[in-house]
Amino acid sequence: MHKCPVFRVADLVGKKWAIVVIQEVALNGENGFNAIRKRMASISPKLLSQRLKNLETNGILKKRIITEKTPFKTEYKLTDKGRELNDIITLMRKWQVRHNPEIKGCESRECVRCPLY
């Protein structure tokens, strides 16, 4: 693994679907894996699971299993580190739109609902 911080963050968020998973957890993580999977119809359950585990391992999100009710429910929430990264992703989207005026309709934080998706 590279020691360079830029390479390390690129390795984390540069994986396919990683940025969209971060956004989905920010918006809908409390609804659990199946809700995220339903909204991200193009991702396989296996890949979604891998991305969630990788982001959890890297301290971007926290998984919580709620056992008070049956069936058990899984909840995902961004950590402080994850919320900060999500803010950076939002800035990157705004930067892209500002410097590429031909991109229209990208004001939403919901990439999976975007017509450009």
Q: Binning pLDDT at 50, 70 and 90, where does residue 78 land?
A: very high
Which residues neighbour 69 within 8 Å (Cβ) at sequence distance 6 or greater?
A: none
How does 65-103 read in b/e, with b if 16+ C-beta sit within 10 Å?
eeeeeeeebbebebeeebeebbeebeeebeeeeeeeeee
pLDDT of 109: 58
CATH topology of domain 5-101: Arc Repressor Mutant, subunit A (1.10.10)
User: pLDDT tens-digit profile of 3-56?
Assistant: 899 999 999 999 999 999 999 999 999 999 999 999 998 999 999 999 999 999
Which residues neighbour 56 within 8 Å (Cβ) at sequence distance 6 or greater?
A: 62, 63
pLDDT of 107: 59
How far apart are alpha carbons 102 and 21 in whole angstroms? Answer: 26
pLDDT of 82: 98
* Tokens (6 digits) for 22: 């971060």
Tell me the whole-structure pTM to 2 decimals.
0.85
